[in-house]
């Protein structure tokens, strides 16, 4: 099964086309290691974050249409076209013309869906834009089965869960420590309005002062390597995010055996539902519990069953 992630040319940012060989990314048709749009968002050419990791399934590809369409016999295209001004019809028509034998699967990267259509982890009844979905063969979301079922009921089409894949064991080998520096890390996004950072900051400051922990804010100033090192050493991540996103911070925290509490991220809902709340009284009780006694083994097993590259590949094969 040969897989390519292809994103609309308006939405690729600074990403260049690449292919994965033996688990590492290289600029397309070269032996030049590729670290993504910038080195801050990758672990060398070994693994990227979120949607870009689909290209690591079966040593696949990412294709930026601005750089042309390579002649590859693709079986599956995981396609993204979200912006209102992106010509979705032309995009899909081009893919069907270039890769006639491919199944085109829709997915999401940066979307209004988790801002407008999901409330406290549950799909609401607001209208969902299906203009892109309607052009594709199969619809997937990088969210759990319950969310997909809720979206399916709203749009009256089958919607399948296809989580973002990660090299979980390899990242644990690189970043896992047994160090606890008695700190709290604010995991909530601080640079997008409406996601709850102010409330998270206020609550975390109170908890840090009351229980004598250092406080680390999320300022978007870390490279990914630095961010993972911080998560690995911190005592607890507090992430009171209002949006049900694919939940990179939750994935990273579970991956590194660090308690993550609060918010409605997808991994929290799927793996840690008892911690998925923004009620401050409940969160304080949970904080006391996880900082006294925390066993991550079951959570890690669930994470691997959902987000490992092998698990996502198997899920993709099942969808097809």
Residue 320 lies in a domain: no
How high is the pLDDT of residue 41? 79
pLDDT digits (tens, 9 = 90+) for 186-223: 998 767 777 888 899 999 999 999 999 999 998 778 88
DSSP, collapsed to helix, strand or coil, labels residue 42 as coil
Residue 315 lies in a domain: no
- Strand order, beta sheet including 214-216: 214-216, 183-186, 236-238, 260-261
Claim to verify: residue 83 and residue 26 sit in the same structural domain: yes
How high is the pLDDT of residue 140? 97
How high is the pLDDT of residue 99? 98
Residue 22 lies in a domain: yes
Q: Is the pLDDT of residue 89 over 80?
A: yes
Looking at every residue in the chain, the average pLDDT score rounds to 94
pTM: 0.94
Q: Is the pLDDT of residue 292 over 90?
A: yes
CATH number, position 235: 3.40.50.2000
Claim to verify: residue 94 and residue 151 sit in the same structural domain: yes
With 0-12 CB in 10 A as exposed, 13-18 as middle and 19+ as buried, what is 40?
A: middle
pLDDT digits (tens, 9 = 90+) for 227-274: 999 999 999 999 999 899 999 999 999 999 999 999 999 999 999 999
Residue 312 lies in a domain: no
Residue 74 lies in a domain: yes
How high is the pLDDT of residue 6? 98
Number of domain units in the chain = 2
Claim to verify: residue 151 and residue 209 sit in the same structural domain: no
End position of a domain, from candidates 162, 183, 199: 162
pLDDT digits (tens, 9 = 90+) for 108-167: 998 778 888 998 889 999 999 999 999 999 999 999 999 999 999 999 999 999 999 999
Claim to verify: residue 103 and residue 246 sit in the same structural domain: no
Claim to verify: residue 47 and residue 94 sit in the same structural domain: yes
Q: Kindly state the tokens that stand for 137.
A: 């063969």
Residue 238 lies in a domain: yes
Residue span of the structural domain in which 43 resides: 3-162
Claim to verify: residue 182 and residue 87 sit in the same structural domain: no
End position of a domain, from candidates 131, 162, 193: 162
What sign does the dihedral 300-301-304-306 (CA atoms) show? negative
Claim to verify: residue 266 and residue 145 sit in the same structural domain: no
Claim to verify: residue 153 and residue 246 sit in the same structural domain: no
Claim to verify: residue 131 and residue 221 sit in the same structural domain: no
CA distance 54 to 60: 8
How high is the pLDDT of residue 304? 98
Claim to verify: residue 196 and residue 264 sit in the same structural domain: yes
> Quick one: how far is CA 54 from the chain centroid?
11
Integer angstrom CA distances of residue 137 from 84, 180, 303: 20, 48, 28
How high is the pLDDT of residue 190? 67
Claim to verify: residue 232 and residue 134 sit in the same structural domain: no
Residue 313 lies in a domain: no
Residue 309 lies in a domain: no
End position of a domain, from candidates 144, 162, 180: 162
Claim to verify: residue 107 and residue 63 sit in the same structural domain: yes
């Amino acid at each position: 099964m040969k897989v390519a992630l292809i994103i609309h040319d308006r939405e690729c940012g600074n990403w260049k086309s690449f292919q994965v060989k033996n688990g590492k990314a290289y600029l397309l048709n070269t032996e030049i290691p590729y670290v993504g749009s910038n080195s801050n968002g990758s672990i060398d050419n070994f693994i990227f974050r979120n949607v870009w990791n689909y290209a690591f399934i079966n040593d696949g590809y990412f294709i930026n249409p601005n750089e042309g369409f390579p002649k590859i016999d693709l079986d599956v295209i995981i396609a993204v076209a979200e912006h209102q001004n992106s010509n979705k019809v032309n995009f899909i028509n081009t893919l069907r013309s270039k890769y006639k034998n491919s199944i085109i699967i829709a997915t999401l990267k940066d979307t209004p869906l988790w801002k407008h259509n999901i409330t406290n982890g549950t799909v609401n009844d607001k209208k969902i834009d299906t203009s892109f979905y309607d052009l594709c063969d199969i619809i997937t979301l990088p969210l759990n089965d319950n969310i997909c079922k809720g979206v399916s009921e709203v749009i009256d089409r089958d919607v399948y869960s296809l989580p973002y894949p990660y090299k979980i064991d390899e990242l644990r080998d690189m970043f896992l420590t047994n160090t606890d520096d008695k700190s709290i890390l604010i995991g909530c996004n601080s640079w997008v309005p409406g996601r709850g950072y102010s409330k998270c900051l206020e609550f975390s400051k109170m908890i840090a002062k009351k229980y004598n922990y250092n406080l680390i804010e999320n300022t978007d100033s870390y490279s990914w390597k630095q961010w993972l090192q911080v998560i690995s050493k911190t005592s607890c991540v507090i992430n009171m995010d209002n949006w049900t996103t694919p939940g990179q911070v939750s994935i990273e925290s579970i991956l590194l055996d660090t308690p993550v509490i609060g918010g409605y991220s997808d991994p929290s809902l799927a793996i840690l539902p008892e911690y998925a709340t923004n009620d401050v009284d409940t969160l304080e009780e949970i904080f006391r519990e996880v900082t006294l006694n925390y066993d991550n083994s079951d959570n890690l097993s669930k994470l691997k069953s959902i987000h490992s590259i092998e698990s996502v590949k198997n899920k993709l094969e099942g969808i097809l």
